[in-house]
Chain A
Amino acid sequence: MSESTGPAGPPQSTHPIMGPDDVARALRRMAHEIVERHRGSNNLVVVGVQRGGAPLAAYLAAQLSDILEAPLEHVDLDVSFFRDDIGSAPLKDAAPTTLSRDLRGRVVILVDDVLFTGRTVRAALNALLSFGRPDAVDLAVLVDRGHRELPLRADYVGKNLPTSREERVRAGLDGVWIERAS
């Protein structure tokens, strides 16, 4: 999230690290891993971190409901008001949060596009807790690019992608690219 630029804008690098088919396959594999870990559980809710995680969460929820043969709820969560860089970086425009119910007793699959420093995930965890106390929270990311600044890890990873700090990673349903900082 922190280093992805979202779905808009053409990628700068010429060839994608992953194409749309690779992304779809990775998300399907992650859906199977989620089902394996939470076999028999009927209290899953997929929460996409705005903005990059939202379309991935929608796709992942659709895959999960295919596998489970049951509808599965997916909602979006904006974490702007929980960030730790408020006042020290320009504000990000808040995106809609469609999560509105209490999460008590639910198992949350938190979905984001890129796991980098971990600060967005930290904000998301705090934001989630203002919806009550879920039974568990798992983290699913399309790309783990390393360089963590907080003790966090993902439970389901689409692709581990070694990067330098200066690079930018763009990840979405349309593919994954590394962009050199200009």
Chain B
Amino acid sequence: MNTPVSARKPYQSKLSRSWWLKHNYYRLYMLREATVLPLLFFIGCLLYGLYCLTQDAAHWQSFQTFMQQGWVIALNLLAFAASLFHAKTFFALFPRVMPLAPAWLMISGQWLATLLVAAGVLLLFGGWL
């Protein structure tokens, strides 16, 4: 008796490297993840500033000159916009991960806390306190 031969030949496609370009949803996700890149530059600036602070006045002066350059300001503004965008996505996702209160309340609460902390830091380091 002949053994039946299976006609199965499943076709498995591979996910291409450009999978995230194929849909708006994926592009937005990658944008969210990419917000870390300009933030890396900002953290570099911060560390450089701290290093200069531990050195003499000349170092501190050179740090200030560095920070006043147009491209540095532009990159830091980009980092600021990126962190705001990331915060928006994070605040929206948080109530889904930890549903402690109605989503709208948790989202507005997080923005309020951000504003309060930002205002406090500005008052503290802006020399108004």
A binds B: no
Chain A contact residues, CB within 8 Å of chain B: none
